[in-house]
Amino acid sequence: MQDKLIAVLYNDDMYSSFKDISGLPEIVVNRLKHYFLTCKDMPGNEADVEIIHTCGAEEAAEVIKRSMDDYRKKFEPLNDAVSSV
């Protein structure tokens, strides 16, 4: 499973007023889903991608937090080892 996060540039003229995917027009959400379903398609290969869940900003923030925790667990021991050299 791979999480995909949608982010908006600060002060983006088009999207900065949106704070959660639930506020986006359905056509925009459908275009984003289409992109993620097809961006790695290769001619002649059967698609093996599915969207099983769409979440809002609060859950996305939790995904980021968990990812940062996982990164620290994996790489802080390496940082400690390198800093003592």
For 5-51, the pLDDT digits (tens) are 988 898 999 999 999 999 999 999 999 999 999 988 888 888 788 89
Q: What is the pLDDT of residue 41?
A: 84
Whether residue 9 lies inside any domain: the answer is: no
In a domain, 13, yes or no: no
**Assigned domain for 60 exists:** yes
d(CA 9, CA 37): 23
Q: Is residue 51 part of a domain?
A: yes
Place of tokens 């003229």: 13
The more confidently predicted of residues 46 and 64 is: 64
Q: Tell whether 54 is covered by a domain.
A: yes
Assigned domain for 79 exists: yes
Residues 6+ apart with CB under 8 A from 66: none
Q: Please indicate, yes or no, if residue 62 is contained in any of the structural domains.
A: yes
For residues 82 and 30, give the distance between their C-alpha atoms in angstroms, rounded to a whole number: 46
Domain count, the chain: 1
Tokens, residue 78: 């390496």
Residue 40 CA to residue 27 CA, distance in Å, equals: 21
| 48 assigned to some structural domain | yes
Q: Supply the pTM of this predicted model.
A: 0.71
